[in-house]
A and B are shown apart, each in its own frame.
Chain A
Amino acid sequence: MEQAIEVVGLTKRYGATVAVDDLSFTARPGRVTGFVGPNGAGKSTTMRVILGLDAPDAGGTLVNGRHYGKLGAPLREIGALLDAGALHPGRRAHDHLLWLAQSNGLPRGRIDEVLALVGLSDVAQRRTGGFSLGMAQRLGIAAALLGDPPVLMFDEPVNGLDPEGVRWIRGFLRGLAAEGRAVLVSSHLMNELQGTADHLVVIGRGRLIADTSVAELLRAASGDGVTVRTPDPGAAMALLAAAGASVTTNGHDALEIRGMSADRVAGLMAGRGLRLDELTPHRASLEEAYMELTRDAVQYAARAS
């Protein structure tokens, strides 16, 4: 099956800096692909190359199986929001969408449709200089949807939004994927994508670290553990460590126990007469799995620099 976005062996340098290094991944229809990595990992650079804005030094990218420059009406193929602030402050929201629609020969009627879709109908005739970040973000999403494209790409869409805006965007991205569109969304924070992304492409320093489903990533993480609070952490630590658990202290009276189930921890401590003030089993969060995954890349980075 044809991929919506294909990145193949992409390398991009800016002077002596390698921004993207032999990166390959795909984004498929019907799912939200999270594109994750620390700031400066090469996410935005990759997206600029996908849109034909920056030229690759090696490898390349395809949208719906074709080179971006060969797309007749690109807005009908892929909608993208790279920088919500990229608006002329003196231009009205409706006019911003009008020139975009005209550039791809899209019907004018579509402008009011997408404005309604993102909830900006009332401010269509306002100049964008007076827009809040959230409104600018919505206008950018309206612009991306203008050509009703099967592929959508958003760079850090929830950055700087209030909780209401974050929730709205998450629901929106899920909705777009449910309609069968391919959605590629970047973030430098893994927990922003928890509950939104189906698939994850993790990069660090321009290189691919993981290309995996969210479920697989969580399964592979060794992060399941138990938090214990007790008046005598020293004794509990010695007891549980002797029984084979890996125990760390958080500095106060709480212990983090890994490699041992909650009921076994409780049983051991009761057998020794140690009081339990708290016993909380917890699952590894996506963020923890991500930290574990990127630790090597960060160490490599530290050594390299």
Chain B
Amino acid sequence: MTALQAEWTKLRSVRSTTWALLAALASTLVIGGVSASTSHPDVVPNEDVVMIVLAGVYLAQVAAVAFGVIAICSEYSSGTIRTTFAANPRRRQVVIAKAAIVGALMLAISAVAAVAAFSLGVAVLHGNGFTSSSGYHGLSLSDSDALREVGVAAVYPVLIALLSLGVATIVRSTALAISAVLGVLFVPFIVAPLFPENVANTIVYASPMAGMAAQEQGAPGDPLTGIAVTVAWAVGAMLVALWLIARRDA
């Protein structure tokens, strides 16, 4: 409990974490709004309309990476990590508390962002002629696909922030951690099209972005498997981080 309080104070008392969270919120809303307003039924027929309004999550995850990395690397770059571990020698407890606070804050922001982007986007789409009477479904949260996609848009940035926190704890450098996570997120999407379709799908659905990519209706991946892959990446990074943190000199 004391560790949670301390980590909460640390995160809320610096501006960089606030900016990262605001960036995540803004990207989800702005990209979602722009994406909805530029979509018309004759241009994108029979598309998954929910993904049109949640398109901003792909950019928001970059802010989630920054948030997860800053949460611990600001301690390594300033040297306060030694103060932290001297004040609480149970290092795993410290990192778990950090993960809990990072996860809770990210969830609060991305849940608000996802629901707001959906409501805003759907209103815009309605005006552009995407209506249930013209054959489009998923324009309400009572639709099970829409609910799943909005739910994942809230949870996915949390997993990416935890993946980033884990990688950052392992490499202990802001620049290295951000490049590593962005690399593992985006490189598969860039190289996949160079391969035959079945190989390309394997590459994409094994990457941490699988959780988001598999949600799109009509996508080749299974939504549940997709999100499980992202969970595996986040949990894997955190486990390695927890294993290392107790063994290394601070």
Chain A interface residues toward B at CB < 8 A: 48, 51-55, 68-69, 71, 74-75, 80, 82-83, 85-92, 95-96, 98-100, 102-105, 143
Closest A residue by C-beta to B250:
A53
Majority SS of interface residues in chain B?
Answer: helix
Checking B10, B79, B85, B249 against A99 with a beta-carbon cut-off of 8 angstroms, the contacting residue is B10
Contact A100 B83 (CB under 8 A): yes
Within 8 A of A (CB), among B42-72: none
The complex places the Cα of A68 from the Cα of B250 at a distance, in Å, of 14
Q: Is the CB of A53 within 8 A of B87?
A: no
Report if B88 contacts A (CB, 8 A).
yes
Q: Do residues A75 and B87 form an inter-chain contact, with CB atoms below 8 A?
A: yes
The chain A residue with its CB closest to the CB of B248 is A55
Assembled-state Cα–Cα distance A71/B90 (Å):
10
Classify chain B's interface size. Answer: 20 to 34
Q: What 13 additional pairs, Cβ within 8 angstroms, besides A86-B79, A91-B13, A143-B83?
A: A52-B89, A53-B82, A53-B250, A74-B87, A85-B79, A86-B82, A88-B80, A90-B15, A96-B13, A99-B10, A102-B5, A103-B87, A104-B88
Which chain B residue shows the least CB distance to A53? Answer: B250
> How far does the Cβ of B20 sit from chain A's closest Cβ, in whole Å?
13
Q: A residues within 8 A CB of B2?
A: 102-105
A71 in complex: contacting residue of B16, B75, B85, B89, CB < 8 Å: B89
Nearest CB in chain B to that of A52: its residue: B89
The answer to whether A86 and B83 have CB atoms under 8 Å apart is yes
A52 lies within 8 A of B85 (CB): yes
19 pairs of residues in contact across A and B, judged by CB atoms under 8 Å: A48-B82, A52-B86, A52-B89, A74-B87, A74-B89, A75-B87, A80-B86, A86-B78, A88-B75, A88-B80, A91-B13, A91-B14, A98-B13, A99-B10, A99-B13, A102-B6, A103-B87, A104-B2, A105-B2
- Across-interface contacts of B90 in A (CB, < 8 A): 69
Complex: A52 Cα to B88 Cα, angstroms: 10
- Which chain A residue has the least Cβ–Cβ distance from B75? A88
Q: Give the CA-CA distance A55 to B82 in the complex, in Å.
A: 13
- A103-B88 in contact (CB<8A): yes
Complex Cα distance, B80 from A88, in Å, reads 7
B82 with A82: CB separation less than 8 A: yes
Q: Which residue of A lies closest to B15 (CB)?
A: A90
Report Cα–Cα, A91/B79, bound state, in Å. Answer: 13
| Closest CB pairs A-B (n = 7) | A86-B79, A95-B13, A103-B6, A99-B9, A102-B5, A54-B249, A53-B250
Are B74 and A74 neighbours in the complex by a CB distance under 8 Å? no
Select from chain B the residue with minimum beta-carbon distance to A140: B83
Q: Are A88 and B78 in contact (CB under 8 A)?
A: yes
Residues of B within 8 A of A82 (CB): 82, 86
Interface centre among B2, B9, B75, B250 (most CB of A within 10 A): B9
CB of B90 to closest CB in A, whole Å: 8
Whether, in the assembled complex, B3 has its beta carbon less than 8 Å from a beta carbon of chain A, the answer is yes
Q: Provide the residues of chain B in CB contact with A87, threshold 8 Å.
A: 78-80
**A138, chain B: closest CB distance, angstroms:** 15
Q: Chain A residues near B88: list those with CB within 8 A.
A: 74, 103-104
Contact of B250 among A54, A71, A80, A90 (CB under 8 A): A54
Interchain CA distance A74-B89 in the complex, whole Å: 8
CB-CB under 8 A from A99, the residues of chain B are 5-7, 9-10, 13
A-contact 0/1 string along B191-207, CB 8 Å cutoff: 00000000000000000
Interface string of B229-250 (1 = CB under 8 A from A): 0000000000000000000011
In the bound complex, what is the Cα–Cα distance between A99 and B8 (angstroms)?
8
Complex-state Cα separation, A83 to B87, whole angstroms: 14
CA distance A284 to B93 in the complex (A): 52
- B14's partner among A53, A80, A88, A98 (CB-CB below 8 A) is A88
* Measured CA separation A75–B2 after assembly (Å): 13
Contact B87 A104 (CB under 8 A): yes
Q: Shortest beta-carbon distance, B224 to chain A, in Å?
A: 39
Distance between B83 CB and nearest chain A CB, rounded to angstroms: 6
Determine the chain A residues whose CB is within 8 A of the CB of B6 once the complex forms: 99-100, 102-103
Contact with A along B1-33 (1 / 0, CB 8 A): 011011101100111100000000000000000
Q: How far is the CA of A98 from the CA of B78 in the complex (A)?
A: 17
Nearest neighbor of B5 in chain A, beta-carbon distance? A102
Q: With the chains together, A100 CA to B5 CA distance in Å? A: 10
Q: Which chain B residues border A68 with CB–CB below 8 Å?
A: 89
CA distance A68 to B15 in the complex (A): 33
Task: Looking at the assembled complex, report how far the CB atom of B7 sits from the nearest CB atom of chain A, in whole angstroms.
Answer: 8
Inside 8 A of A98's CB, which chain B residues have their CB? 9, 13
